Amino acid sequence: MPLQAFAPIAAEKPDVRGFYHARTGSVQYVVSDPQTGACAIIDPVLDYDEKSGATATVEADAILAYVAERKLKVTWILDTHPHADHFSAAAYLKEKTGAPTAIGERVVDVQRLWSGLYNLPGPATDGSQWDRLFADGDTFKVGQIEGRVMFSPGHTLASVTYVIGDAAFVHDTLFMPDSGTARADFPGGDARRLWETIQAILSLPEETRVFTGHDYQPDGRPPLWESTVGAQKRNNPHVAGRSAEDFIRLRKARDATLPMPKLILHALQVNIRGGRLPEPEDNGRRYLKIPLDALSGAAWE
């Protein structure tokens, strides 16, 4: 059944600051209510160097410095989905701010799927790693500004879009209009569901600001992450003038040529735990577990 966008809410305009993480092409956000100073942090990155195995909090600390400089109060730490290309800093930021963490309720499906792929005895697959699991249509507040949750599957089983005032945070569903749309070939992804999700997002008012989860700088241009619903409708080549069947054919053909993100097997075992690293073993070190030949058919670089 096609997804439906909810009725437009009052077009309150939150302040939005994007933080671009060049290493993974990811965009993190601080969304704040200019009247109250309350803010939400969306899709924060925990730094990880796959060559050395080192972790760091440079990105998350830059967000905290911005929050402190602006005298903001963090009231939510939100992930749009369990990411495949970077570690989530949600657990670290919760420790530093005390703010509740949240994600879409279908994260439990992703936990079950990936726990099986890793053959993990844990973690719990009930979403208990987050303080709140959002259902489609749930509302929350960032200060006086209302936010709503749109279930947005297709890229993953659990993806959600956060619409906060006039700003929609669409994660890895739509990229900038010159970059198209997200892939749908991860375990649990589905091109038809992705098309339905995109149509629901594009049914929001045309002036709605659209903030993407990634930018890969086509043709070497500077990183960008803000567009509008109207600009996406007119200019995104994966969307403009296409039918569902056109899109599905395009998406499947393109996905077949794409290698898996280099951190997918590293990141998912952390992100299905809400950004918590594996527990230390008896020697005091933490270890990641990498299943071999688990993602059969993926293109090689």
CA atoms 248, 254, 255, 256: torsion sign: positive
10 within domain boundaries: no
Q: What is the pLDDT of residue 31?
A: 98
Does the residue 196 lie in any domain?
yes
Contact 154, 184 (CB under 8 A): yes
Per-residue pLDDT tens digits for 238-259: 999 999 999 999 999 999 999 9
- Cα separation, 75 vs 14, whole angstroms: 14
The string of pLDDT tens digits covering residues 93-110 is: 999 999 999 999 999 999
Distance between CA atoms of residues 155 and 172, nearest Å: 7
Question: Across residues 228-234, what is the average pLDDT?
Answer: 98
Main-chain phi, psi angles of 208, to 5 degrees: -55, 130
202 assigned to some structural domain: yes
Residue 5 within a domain:
no
Query: Is 9 a member of any domain?
Result: no
Question: How far is it, in rounded angstroms, from Cα 146 to Cα 140?
Answer: 6
Q: CATH number for the domain including 188?
A: 3.60.15.10
3-class DSSP state for residue 108? helix
Instruction: Spell 267-287 as b/e; 16+ CB within 10 A means b.
Output: bbbbbbbbbbbbeeeeeeeee
| Cβ-based neighbour number of residue 188 at 10 Å | 19
Number of domains the chain contains? 1
For 15-73, write each residue's pLDDT tens digit: 999 999 999 999 999 999 999 999 999 999 999 999 999 999 999 999 999 999 999 99
What angle, 0 to 180 degrees and rounded to 10, lies between the N-to-C axes of helices 90-97 and 58-69? Answer: 40
Q: What is the pLDDT of residues 287-298, one digit of tens each?
A: 999 999 988 888
In a domain, 185, yes or no: yes
The dihedral region occupied by 107, where left means phi > 0, alpha psi between -120 and 50, and beta the remainder, is: alpha
59: containing domain: 15-271
Residue 93 lies in a domain: yes
127, 107 in Cβ contact below 8 A? yes
Q: Is 301 domain-assigned? A: no
